[in-house]
Structure 1
Amino acid sequence: MYTTLKTRTAGSGPSLVLLHGWGVNSGVWQPIAAQLEQHFSVTYVDLPGFGENFQALPEPYNLANLAASVANFLPENSVLAGWSLGGLVAQQIALHEPTKVQRLVLIATSPKFQKSDDWPGIEPTILQAFSQQLVKNLSKTIERFLAIQAMGSDSAKADIKKIKSSIEASPQADIAALTAGLTILEQADLRAELASLSMPVHWMLGRLDSLVPAKLNEYVQQHLPPNHSVTVFPHASHAPFISHTEHFMADFMTTVKESTLK
Protein backbone atom coordinates (compact mmCIF):
# COMPACT_ATOMS: atom_id res chain seq x y z
CA MET A 1 0.00 0.00 0.00
CA TYR A 2 1.36 3.43 -0.94
CA THR A 3 1.69 6.28 1.54
CA THR A 4 1.15 10.07 1.52
CA LEU A 5 4.28 12.07 0.78
CA LYS A 6 5.42 15.66 1.27
CA THR A 7 6.80 17.23 -1.92
CA ARG A 8 8.11 20.66 -2.89
CA THR A 9 7.75 22.38 -6.27
CA ALA A 10 9.68 25.43 -7.53
CA GLY A 11 10.36 27.12 -10.87
CA SER A 12 8.23 27.36 -14.01
CA GLY A 13 7.94 25.46 -17.27
CA PRO A 14 7.29 21.81 -18.14
CA SER A 15 6.93 19.48 -15.16
CA LEU A 16 10.16 17.81 -13.98
CA VAL A 17 10.18 15.39 -11.04
CA LEU A 18 13.47 14.41 -9.36
CA LEU A 19 14.02 11.20 -7.36
CA HIS A 20 17.16 10.85 -5.22
CA GLY A 21 19.21 7.76 -4.32
CA TRP A 22 19.75 5.53 -1.28
CA GLY A 23 20.93 7.07 2.00
CA VAL A 24 20.31 10.70 0.99
CA ASN A 25 17.29 12.95 0.28
CA SER A 26 16.10 15.52 -2.24
CA GLY A 27 18.63 18.04 -0.92
CA VAL A 28 21.20 16.23 -3.06
CA TRP A 29 19.84 18.13 -6.10
CA GLN A 30 20.82 21.50 -4.61
CA PRO A 31 23.89 21.99 -6.91
CA ILE A 32 21.68 22.03 -10.02
CA ALA A 33 18.35 23.21 -8.55
CA ALA A 34 18.59 26.89 -9.52
CA GLN A 35 19.52 26.07 -13.12
CA LEU A 36 16.72 23.54 -13.51
CA GLU A 37 14.12 25.88 -12.00
CA GLN A 38 14.83 28.44 -14.73
CA HIS A 39 13.46 26.00 -17.31
CA PHE A 40 11.15 23.61 -15.46
CA SER A 41 8.55 23.43 -12.76
CA VAL A 42 10.65 21.12 -10.57
CA THR A 43 9.07 18.81 -8.00
CA TYR A 44 11.48 17.50 -5.37
CA VAL A 45 10.41 14.24 -3.76
CA ASP A 46 11.93 12.64 -0.68
CA LEU A 47 11.40 8.91 -1.16
CA PRO A 48 9.39 7.18 1.58
CA GLY A 49 11.51 6.83 4.72
CA PHE A 50 13.96 9.56 3.62
CA GLY A 51 14.25 13.29 4.36
CA GLU A 52 10.94 15.01 5.13
CA ASN A 53 9.16 11.71 4.48
CA PHE A 54 11.22 9.73 7.01
CA GLN A 55 8.02 8.71 8.84
CA ALA A 56 6.08 7.80 5.70
CA LEU A 57 6.74 4.09 5.24
CA PRO A 58 4.60 1.99 2.88
CA GLU A 59 3.80 -1.53 4.02
CA PRO A 60 5.43 -3.63 2.80
CA TYR A 61 8.42 -1.48 1.86
CA ASN A 62 9.14 -2.72 -1.66
CA LEU A 63 9.78 -1.30 -5.13
CA ALA A 64 6.15 -1.55 -6.21
CA ASN A 65 4.90 0.43 -3.20
CA LEU A 66 7.68 3.02 -3.48
CA ALA A 67 6.72 3.60 -7.10
CA ALA A 68 3.00 3.76 -6.29
CA SER A 69 3.62 6.30 -3.51
CA VAL A 70 5.57 8.60 -5.82
CA ALA A 71 3.33 8.09 -8.88
CA ASN A 72 0.33 9.22 -6.83
CA PHE A 73 1.83 12.75 -6.73
CA LEU A 74 3.24 12.83 -10.25
CA PRO A 75 1.75 15.45 -12.60
CA GLU A 76 0.59 14.06 -15.95
CA ASN A 77 3.19 14.16 -18.75
CA SER A 78 6.13 14.79 -16.43
CA VAL A 79 9.79 14.46 -17.23
CA LEU A 80 10.80 11.95 -14.56
CA ALA A 81 14.48 11.88 -13.58
CA GLY A 82 15.84 9.35 -11.09
CA TRP A 83 19.32 8.87 -9.69
CA SER A 84 20.61 5.51 -8.43
CA LEU A 85 17.83 3.89 -6.30
CA GLY A 86 15.57 6.74 -7.43
CA GLY A 87 16.23 5.67 -11.00
CA LEU A 88 15.00 2.18 -10.20
CA VAL A 89 11.81 3.70 -8.75
CA ALA A 90 11.50 5.89 -11.87
CA GLN A 91 11.76 2.82 -14.13
CA GLN A 92 9.04 1.07 -12.14
CA ILE A 93 6.76 4.12 -12.42
CA ALA A 94 7.34 4.42 -16.18
CA LEU A 95 6.50 0.74 -16.62
CA HIS A 96 3.28 0.82 -14.60
CA GLU A 97 2.08 4.45 -14.95
CA PRO A 98 3.29 5.31 -18.49
CA THR A 99 0.74 8.09 -19.08
CA LYS A 100 2.33 10.11 -16.29
CA VAL A 101 5.84 9.97 -17.79
CA GLN A 102 6.49 11.95 -20.95
CA ARG A 103 10.23 11.34 -20.82
CA LEU A 104 12.44 9.25 -18.53
CA VAL A 105 15.94 10.31 -17.46
CA LEU A 106 18.01 7.65 -15.69
CA ILE A 107 21.12 8.94 -13.89
CA ALA A 108 23.79 6.47 -12.74
CA THR A 109 21.15 3.81 -12.31
CA SER A 110 20.40 0.34 -13.61
CA PRO A 111 17.50 -2.08 -14.09
CA LYS A 112 19.53 -4.51 -11.94
CA PHE A 113 22.07 -3.29 -9.39
CA GLN A 114 23.51 -6.53 -8.07
CA LYS A 115 26.21 -8.25 -10.08
CA SER A 116 25.56 -11.72 -11.48
CA ASP A 117 27.25 -14.05 -13.95
CA ASP A 118 25.58 -12.30 -16.89
CA TRP A 119 25.44 -8.75 -15.51
CA PRO A 120 27.88 -6.04 -14.38
CA GLY A 121 26.95 -4.48 -11.04
CA ILE A 122 27.66 -4.26 -7.32
CA GLU A 123 29.30 -7.27 -5.71
CA PRO A 124 26.68 -9.02 -3.52
CA THR A 125 29.06 -8.99 -0.55
CA ILE A 126 29.19 -5.17 -0.61
CA LEU A 127 25.42 -4.76 -0.29
CA GLN A 128 25.28 -7.46 2.40
CA ALA A 129 28.05 -5.75 4.37
CA PHE A 130 26.23 -2.40 4.26
CA SER A 131 23.05 -4.07 5.49
CA GLN A 132 24.89 -5.59 8.46
CA GLN A 133 26.78 -2.35 9.27
CA LEU A 134 23.61 -0.23 9.26
CA VAL A 135 22.51 -1.67 12.59
CA LYS A 136 25.90 -1.02 14.20
CA ASN A 137 26.60 2.51 12.99
CA LEU A 138 24.08 4.28 10.79
CA SER A 139 25.95 7.52 10.04
CA LYS A 140 29.29 5.81 9.37
CA THR A 141 27.65 3.32 6.99
CA ILE A 142 26.05 6.11 4.96
CA GLU A 143 29.36 7.98 4.92
CA ARG A 144 31.10 4.88 3.54
CA PHE A 145 28.42 4.54 0.89
CA LEU A 146 28.93 8.17 -0.15
CA ALA A 147 32.67 7.50 -0.41
CA ILE A 148 32.02 4.59 -2.80
CA GLN A 149 29.75 6.84 -4.88
CA ALA A 150 32.55 9.35 -5.44
CA MET A 151 35.29 6.77 -5.96
CA GLY A 152 37.32 7.40 -9.11
CA SER A 153 36.30 11.02 -9.51
CA ASP A 154 39.09 13.61 -9.50
CA SER A 155 37.02 15.66 -7.07
CA ALA A 156 36.01 12.76 -4.80
CA LYS A 157 36.55 14.50 -1.44
CA ALA A 158 34.78 17.66 -2.60
CA ASP A 159 31.94 15.57 -4.04
CA ILE A 160 31.35 13.77 -0.73
CA LYS A 161 31.45 17.05 1.17
CA LYS A 162 28.95 18.61 -1.24
CA ILE A 163 26.56 15.66 -0.98
CA LYS A 164 26.72 15.66 2.83
CA SER A 165 26.15 19.40 3.17
CA SER A 166 23.22 19.25 0.73
CA ILE A 167 21.35 16.54 2.63
CA GLU A 168 22.04 17.54 6.24
CA ALA A 169 19.22 20.11 6.39
CA SER A 170 16.65 17.30 6.34
CA PRO A 171 15.93 14.57 8.94
CA GLN A 172 18.02 11.41 8.86
CA ALA A 173 16.58 8.47 6.96
CA ASP A 174 14.61 5.79 8.80
CA ILE A 175 16.74 2.70 9.35
CA ALA A 176 13.90 0.41 8.22
CA ALA A 177 13.77 2.29 4.89
CA LEU A 178 17.55 2.08 4.53
CA THR A 179 17.54 -1.66 5.18
CA ALA A 180 14.61 -2.29 2.85
CA GLY A 181 16.23 -0.04 0.23
CA LEU A 182 19.33 -2.23 0.23
CA THR A 183 17.11 -5.30 -0.20
CA ILE A 184 15.50 -3.65 -3.24
CA LEU A 185 18.97 -2.97 -4.70
CA GLU A 186 19.89 -6.62 -4.09
CA GLN A 187 16.75 -8.15 -5.60
CA ALA A 188 15.25 -5.87 -8.25
CA ASP A 189 15.61 -6.87 -11.89
CA LEU A 190 13.60 -4.91 -14.47
CA ARG A 191 15.66 -5.92 -17.52
CA ALA A 192 12.96 -8.03 -19.15
CA GLU A 193 10.43 -5.17 -19.04
CA LEU A 194 12.56 -2.22 -20.21
CA ALA A 195 12.08 -2.80 -23.93
CA SER A 196 8.33 -2.22 -23.50
CA LEU A 197 8.80 1.45 -22.55
CA SER A 198 7.41 3.69 -25.30
CA MET A 199 8.52 7.14 -24.07
CA PRO A 200 12.02 8.53 -24.79
CA VAL A 201 14.53 7.23 -22.23
CA HIS A 202 17.91 8.89 -21.67
CA TRP A 203 20.62 7.20 -19.62
CA MET A 204 23.40 9.31 -18.02
CA LEU A 205 26.34 7.19 -16.80
CA GLY A 206 29.74 7.83 -15.26
CA ARG A 207 32.68 5.93 -16.79
CA LEU A 208 34.35 5.64 -13.36
CA ASP A 209 31.20 4.53 -11.52
CA SER A 210 31.84 1.50 -9.29
CA LEU A 211 28.13 1.00 -8.46
CA VAL A 212 26.63 1.18 -11.95
CA PRO A 213 29.35 0.10 -14.40
CA ALA A 214 29.53 2.05 -17.66
CA LYS A 215 29.25 -1.33 -19.46
CA LEU A 216 25.52 -0.73 -19.08
CA ASN A 217 25.98 1.51 -22.13
CA GLU A 218 26.65 -1.56 -24.28
CA TYR A 219 23.54 -3.30 -22.98
CA VAL A 220 21.33 -0.28 -23.73
CA GLN A 221 22.70 0.08 -27.27
CA GLN A 222 22.57 -3.63 -28.10
CA HIS A 223 19.37 -4.79 -26.39
CA LEU A 224 17.01 -1.83 -26.05
CA PRO A 225 15.01 -0.06 -28.79
CA PRO A 226 15.99 3.28 -30.43
CA ASN A 227 13.94 5.37 -27.99
CA HIS A 228 16.79 4.76 -25.49
CA SER A 229 19.82 7.06 -25.70
CA VAL A 230 22.99 7.12 -23.57
CA THR A 231 25.60 9.62 -22.47
CA VAL A 232 28.72 8.39 -20.65
CA PHE A 233 30.62 11.11 -18.78
CA PRO A 234 34.30 10.13 -19.18
CA HIS A 235 35.60 11.53 -15.88
CA ALA A 236 32.55 11.09 -13.64
CA SER A 237 31.70 8.47 -11.05
CA HIS A 238 28.26 7.83 -9.48
CA ALA A 239 27.11 11.46 -9.11
CA PRO A 240 27.85 13.30 -12.40
CA PHE A 241 25.41 16.11 -11.55
CA ILE A 242 27.64 16.95 -8.55
CA SER A 243 31.16 16.21 -9.85
CA HIS A 244 30.64 17.50 -13.40
CA THR A 245 27.70 19.88 -13.09
CA GLU A 246 28.45 21.89 -16.23
CA HIS A 247 28.75 18.86 -18.53
CA PHE A 248 25.74 17.21 -16.89
CA MET A 249 23.54 20.29 -17.36
CA ALA A 250 24.64 20.75 -20.97
CA ASP A 251 23.67 17.16 -21.77
CA PHE A 252 20.44 17.36 -19.78
CA MET A 253 19.34 20.55 -21.55
CA THR A 254 20.27 19.26 -25.01
CA THR A 255 18.52 15.91 -24.70
CA VAL A 256 15.67 16.76 -22.35
CA LYS A 257 14.65 20.41 -22.37
CA GLU A 258 14.83 21.12 -26.08
CA SER A 259 12.91 18.01 -27.09
CA THR A 260 10.37 18.53 -24.28
CA LEU A 261 9.56 22.03 -25.49
CA LYS A 262 9.17 21.04 -29.16
Structure 2
Amino acid sequence: MSESLKVSTVGSGKNLVFLHGWGVNSGVWQPLIDILKDEFCITTIDLPGYGLNHQRLPLPYNLQNITNMVAKKLPTNCILIGWSLGGLVAQMIAHTYPEKLKQLVLICSSPNFSKHADWPGIEPKILDFFTQQLELDFSKTLQRFLAIQAMGSVNARQDAKIIKQAVQQFPLPSPIALEAGLHMLQSIDLREQFKTLSIPCQMFLGSLDTLVPDKVALAAQQLNSKVIIEIISHASHAPFISNTESFAKRLVKALV
Protein backbone atom coordinates (compact mmCIF):
# COMPACT_ATOMS: atom_id res chain seq x y z
CA MET A 1 0.00 0.00 0.00
CA SER A 2 1.53 3.35 -0.97
CA GLU A 3 -1.32 5.83 -0.85
CA SER A 4 -0.83 9.52 -0.08
CA LEU A 5 0.80 10.34 3.26
CA LYS A 6 -1.12 12.01 6.09
CA VAL A 7 0.35 15.25 7.44
CA SER A 8 -0.36 17.53 10.40
CA THR A 9 -0.16 21.32 10.23
CA VAL A 10 -0.47 23.99 12.95
CA GLY A 11 0.21 27.71 13.20
CA SER A 12 0.72 30.35 10.53
CA GLY A 13 3.68 32.14 9.00
CA LYS A 14 6.82 30.86 7.30
CA ASN A 15 6.49 27.17 6.34
CA LEU A 16 8.59 24.75 8.40
CA VAL A 17 8.40 21.00 7.73
CA PHE A 18 9.78 18.47 10.23
CA LEU A 19 10.88 14.88 9.48
CA HIS A 20 11.59 12.53 12.41
CA GLY A 21 14.20 9.79 12.81
CA TRP A 22 14.30 5.99 12.96
CA GLY A 23 12.02 4.14 15.38
CA VAL A 24 9.99 7.19 16.44
CA ASN A 25 7.37 9.47 14.85
CA SER A 26 6.29 13.10 14.58
CA GLY A 27 5.34 13.10 18.28
CA VAL A 28 8.99 13.82 19.14
CA TRP A 29 8.58 17.35 17.77
CA GLN A 30 5.77 18.38 20.15
CA PRO A 31 7.94 20.24 22.73
CA LEU A 32 9.48 22.28 19.89
CA ILE A 33 6.14 22.84 18.14
CA ASP A 34 4.68 24.27 21.36
CA ILE A 35 7.35 26.98 21.28
CA LEU A 36 7.32 27.73 17.54
CA LYS A 37 3.66 27.42 16.48
CA ASP A 38 2.79 31.06 17.27
CA GLU A 39 5.45 32.27 14.84
CA PHE A 40 5.50 29.64 12.08
CA CYS A 41 3.28 27.34 10.05
CA ILE A 42 4.57 23.92 11.10
CA THR A 43 3.93 20.74 9.13
CA THR A 44 5.00 17.35 10.51
CA ILE A 45 5.13 14.34 8.23
CA ASP A 46 5.38 10.83 9.63
CA LEU A 47 7.68 8.86 7.34
CA PRO A 48 6.06 5.92 5.53
CA GLY A 49 5.56 3.07 7.99
CA TYR A 50 5.54 5.37 11.04
CA GLY A 51 2.95 7.15 13.18
CA LEU A 52 -0.10 8.30 11.20
CA ASN A 53 1.41 6.62 8.14
CA HIS A 54 2.27 3.27 9.72
CA GLN A 55 0.21 1.43 7.09
CA ARG A 56 1.45 3.46 4.13
CA LEU A 57 4.43 1.63 2.69
CA PRO A 58 6.05 2.14 -0.71
CA LEU A 59 7.21 -0.99 -2.49
CA PRO A 60 10.08 -1.39 -2.54
CA TYR A 61 10.69 0.47 0.71
CA ASN A 62 13.76 2.52 -0.25
CA LEU A 63 15.07 6.06 0.05
CA GLN A 64 14.00 7.19 -3.41
CA ASN A 65 10.40 6.01 -2.99
CA ILE A 66 10.17 7.59 0.47
CA THR A 67 11.59 10.81 -0.97
CA ASN A 68 8.97 10.89 -3.72
CA MET A 69 6.10 10.29 -1.26
CA VAL A 70 7.23 12.97 1.20
CA ALA A 71 8.05 15.51 -1.53
CA LYS A 72 4.44 15.39 -2.76
CA LYS A 73 3.22 16.67 0.62
CA LEU A 74 5.62 19.61 0.99
CA PRO A 75 4.16 23.12 1.02
CA THR A 76 5.64 25.55 -1.51
CA ASN A 77 8.98 27.19 -0.72
CA CYS A 78 9.32 25.50 2.67
CA ILE A 79 12.21 25.08 5.07
CA LEU A 80 12.74 21.33 5.45
CA ILE A 81 14.10 20.16 8.80
CA GLY A 82 15.28 16.56 9.09
CA TRP A 83 16.51 14.81 12.21
CA SER A 84 18.70 11.70 12.09
CA LEU A 85 17.24 9.28 9.46
CA GLY A 86 14.77 12.03 8.53
CA GLY A 87 17.82 14.07 7.58
CA LEU A 88 18.77 11.47 4.96
CA VAL A 89 15.30 11.81 3.44
CA ALA A 90 15.56 15.61 3.62
CA GLN A 91 18.95 15.56 1.85
CA MET A 92 17.57 13.35 -0.90
CA ILE A 93 14.61 15.72 -1.35
CA ALA A 94 17.02 18.68 -1.53
CA HIS A 95 18.97 16.84 -4.24
CA THR A 96 15.96 15.57 -6.22
CA TYR A 97 13.45 18.41 -5.72
CA PRO A 98 15.51 21.54 -4.89
CA GLU A 99 12.82 23.78 -6.37
CA LYS A 100 10.47 22.81 -3.53
CA LEU A 101 12.78 24.04 -0.76
CA LYS A 102 13.92 27.40 0.54
CA GLN A 103 16.40 25.93 3.03
CA LEU A 104 17.58 22.57 4.35
CA VAL A 105 18.18 22.12 8.09
CA LEU A 106 19.80 18.92 9.39
CA ILE A 107 19.67 18.01 13.08
CA CYS A 108 22.16 15.36 14.23
CA SER A 109 22.16 13.92 10.75
CA SER A 110 24.81 13.16 8.17
CA PRO A 111 25.15 12.34 4.48
CA ASN A 112 26.67 9.04 5.64
CA PHE A 113 25.80 7.44 8.99
CA SER A 114 28.13 4.45 8.81
CA LYS A 115 31.72 4.80 9.98
CA HIS A 116 34.46 4.44 7.33
CA ALA A 117 38.21 4.99 7.37
CA ASP A 118 37.64 8.48 5.94
CA TRP A 119 34.33 9.30 7.65
CA PRO A 120 33.19 9.46 11.31
CA GLY A 121 29.94 7.67 12.09
CA ILE A 122 28.24 4.72 13.75
CA GLU A 123 30.27 1.52 14.10
CA PRO A 124 28.75 -0.94 11.58
CA LYS A 125 28.61 -3.64 14.27
CA ILE A 126 26.16 -1.47 16.29
CA LEU A 127 23.73 -1.28 13.37
CA ASP A 128 24.23 -5.01 12.75
CA PHE A 129 23.33 -5.66 16.39
CA PHE A 130 20.11 -3.64 16.15
CA THR A 131 19.14 -5.41 12.91
CA GLN A 132 19.58 -8.81 14.57
CA GLN A 133 17.79 -7.76 17.77
CA LEU A 134 14.86 -6.29 15.83
CA GLU A 135 13.93 -9.77 14.65
CA LEU A 136 14.20 -11.20 18.18
CA ASP A 137 12.48 -8.54 20.28
CA PHE A 138 10.78 -5.68 18.43
CA SER A 139 9.71 -3.69 21.54
CA LYS A 140 12.95 -4.02 23.51
CA THR A 141 15.04 -3.02 20.47
CA LEU A 142 13.05 0.20 20.07
CA GLN A 143 13.49 1.01 23.77
CA ARG A 144 17.24 0.45 23.56
CA PHE A 145 17.51 2.74 20.57
CA LEU A 146 15.55 5.47 22.35
CA ALA A 147 17.96 5.19 25.29
CA ILE A 148 20.96 5.57 22.96
CA GLN A 149 19.44 8.73 21.47
CA ALA A 150 19.41 10.34 24.92
CA MET A 151 22.80 8.94 25.99
CA GLY A 152 25.29 11.62 26.96
CA SER A 153 22.64 14.15 27.93
CA VAL A 154 22.76 15.48 31.49
CA ASN A 155 19.11 14.43 31.83
CA ALA A 156 19.40 11.26 29.76
CA ARG A 157 16.75 9.29 31.66
CA GLN A 158 14.25 12.15 31.54
CA ASP A 159 14.97 12.78 27.84
CA ALA A 160 14.39 9.12 27.00
CA LYS A 161 11.13 9.24 28.94
CA ILE A 162 9.94 12.33 27.03
CA ILE A 163 10.78 10.71 23.69
CA LYS A 164 9.04 7.48 24.69
CA GLN A 165 5.87 9.28 25.87
CA ALA A 166 5.69 11.38 22.70
CA VAL A 167 6.15 8.33 20.49
CA GLN A 168 3.55 6.22 22.31
CA GLN A 169 0.75 8.59 21.30
CA PHE A 170 0.91 7.05 17.80
CA PRO A 171 0.69 3.48 16.45
CA LEU A 172 3.84 1.36 16.53
CA PRO A 173 6.01 1.58 13.41
CA SER A 174 5.92 -1.07 10.72
CA PRO A 175 8.58 -3.80 11.07
CA ILE A 176 9.21 -3.40 7.32
CA ALA A 177 10.00 0.31 7.78
CA LEU A 178 12.21 -0.39 10.80
CA GLU A 179 14.27 -3.06 9.08
CA ALA A 180 14.62 -1.06 5.86
CA GLY A 181 15.49 2.07 7.86
CA LEU A 182 18.39 0.32 9.60
CA HIS A 183 19.60 -0.91 6.23
CA MET A 184 19.50 2.68 4.93
CA LEU A 185 21.52 3.94 7.89
CA GLN A 186 24.08 1.23 7.15
CA SER A 187 24.31 1.60 3.39
CA ILE A 188 23.19 5.02 2.12
CA ASP A 189 26.00 7.38 1.15
CA LEU A 190 24.90 10.85 -0.02
CA ARG A 191 28.30 12.52 0.16
CA GLU A 192 28.39 13.21 -3.60
CA GLN A 193 24.90 14.76 -3.43
CA PHE A 194 25.93 16.77 -0.36
CA LYS A 195 28.81 18.30 -2.33
CA THR A 196 26.42 19.76 -4.88
CA LEU A 197 23.62 21.07 -2.62
CA SER A 198 22.09 24.06 -4.40
CA ILE A 199 20.05 25.48 -1.52
CA PRO A 200 21.19 26.99 1.81
CA CYS A 201 21.94 24.29 4.39
CA GLN A 202 22.33 24.52 8.16
CA MET A 203 23.56 21.58 10.27
CA PHE A 204 23.21 21.20 14.02
CA LEU A 205 25.32 18.55 15.78
CA GLY A 206 25.44 17.57 19.46
CA SER A 207 28.83 17.50 21.20
CA LEU A 208 27.73 14.42 23.18
CA ASP A 209 26.00 12.59 20.33
CA THR A 210 27.05 8.92 20.19
CA LEU A 211 25.29 8.24 16.85
CA VAL A 212 26.37 11.21 14.72
CA PRO A 213 29.66 12.36 16.32
CA ASP A 214 30.54 16.06 16.17
CA LYS A 215 33.63 15.10 14.11
CA VAL A 216 31.16 14.96 11.20
CA ALA A 217 31.33 18.78 11.21
CA LEU A 218 34.86 18.94 9.79
CA ALA A 219 34.23 16.14 7.29
CA ALA A 220 31.01 17.76 6.07
CA GLN A 221 32.65 21.18 5.79
CA GLN A 222 35.37 19.67 3.60
CA LEU A 223 32.68 18.29 1.30
CA ASN A 224 30.73 21.54 1.08
CA SER A 225 32.14 24.77 2.51
CA LYS A 226 28.82 26.61 1.99
CA VAL A 227 27.06 24.54 4.65
CA ILE A 228 26.79 26.30 8.01
CA ILE A 229 27.48 23.94 10.91
CA GLU A 230 26.84 24.56 14.60
CA ILE A 231 27.89 22.18 17.37
CA ILE A 232 25.66 22.36 20.44
CA SER A 233 27.62 21.76 23.63
CA HIS A 234 26.18 19.41 26.27
CA ALA A 235 23.65 18.06 23.74
CA SER A 236 23.20 14.46 22.61
CA HIS A 237 21.32 13.04 19.62
CA ALA A 238 18.04 14.88 20.33
CA PRO A 239 18.93 18.49 21.26
CA PHE A 240 15.33 19.61 20.66
CA ILE A 241 14.40 17.35 23.60
CA SER A 242 17.37 17.84 25.93
CA ASN A 243 17.79 21.59 25.25
CA THR A 244 14.35 22.51 23.87
CA GLU A 245 14.18 26.26 24.55
CA SER A 246 17.78 27.06 23.66
CA PHE A 247 17.55 24.86 20.57
CA ALA A 248 14.38 26.67 19.45
CA LYS A 249 16.25 29.99 19.65
CA ARG A 250 19.21 28.58 17.69
CA LEU A 251 16.88 27.21 15.03
CA VAL A 252 14.92 30.44 14.57
CA LYS A 253 18.18 32.41 14.34
CA ALA A 254 19.46 30.05 11.61
CA LEU A 255 16.40 30.25 9.35
CA VAL A 256 16.73 32.19 6.09
Interval containing the TM-score (normalised by the shorter chain): over 0.9
Q: SS where residue 52 of structure 2 aligns?
A: helix
Q: SS where residue 152 of structure 1 aligns?
A: coil
Q: SS where residue 68 of structure 1 aligns?
A: helix
Per the alignment, residue 84 of structure 1 pairs with: 84
2:2 & 2:199 partners in 1: Cα distance?
24
1:215 & 1:54 partners in 2: Cα distance?
34
Residue 15 in 1 paired to residue 15 in 2?
A: yes
Residue 160 in 1 paired to residue 160 in 2?
A: yes
What is the identity, as a one-letter code, of the residue corresponding to 2:241?
I
Structure 1: gaps spanning 5 or more residues = none
Per the alignment, residue 240 of structure 1 pairs with: 239
1:170 CA displacement? 0.4
1:116 CA displacement? 1.2
Residue 201 in 1 paired to residue 206 in 2?
A: no
1:115 & 1:219 partners in 2: Cα distance?
12
Per the alignment, residue 229 of structure 1 pairs with: 228
1:197 CA displacement? 1.2
Per the alignment, residue 49 of structure 1 pairs with: 49
Kept in 2, the 8 Å contact 1:2–1:65? The answer is no
1:223 CA displacement? 2.7
Equivalent pairs, count: 256
1:66 CA displacement? 0.8
What is the identity, as a one-letter code, of the residue corresponding to 2:113?
F
1:213 & 1:200 partners in 2: Cα distance?
22
Kept in 2, the 8 Å contact 1:2–1:66? The answer is no
1:2 & 1:101 partners in 2: Cα distance?
24
1:150 CA displacement? 1.0
1:182 & 1:35 partners in 2: Cα distance?
31
1:197 & 1:36 partners in 2: Cα distance?
27
1:158 & 1:128 partners in 2: Cα distance?
27
1:180 & 1:221 partners in 2: Cα distance?
29
Kept in 1, the 8 Å contact 2:119–2:219? The answer is no
Q: SS where residue 105 of structure 1 aligns?
A: strand
1:221 CA displacement? 2.6
What is the identity, as a one-letter code, of the residue corresponding to 1:247?
S
2:122 & 2:144 partners in 1: Cα distance?
15
1:7 CA displacement? 0.5
What is the identity, as a one-letter code, of the residue corresponding to 1:148?
I
- TM-score, normalising length: structure 1: 0.95
State the superposition RMSD in angstroms. 1.1
Kept in 1, the 8 Å contact 2:19–2:45? The answer is yes
Q: SS where residue 246 of structure 1 aligns?
A: helix
1:221 & 1:61 partners in 2: Cα distance?
31
Kept in 2, the 8 Å contact 1:16–1:43? The answer is yes
1:3 CA displacement? 4.1
Structure 2: gaps spanning 5 or more residues = none
Q: Residue deviations 1:107-136, cap 9 Å, x none?
A: 000000011111111111111111111111
- Aligned 1:63-212 pairs, distance under 5 A: 63-212=63-212
What is the identity, as a one-letter code, of the residue corresponding to 2:219?
Y
Kept in 2, the 8 Å contact 1:2–1:68? The answer is no
1:250 & 1:8 partners in 2: Cα distance?
23
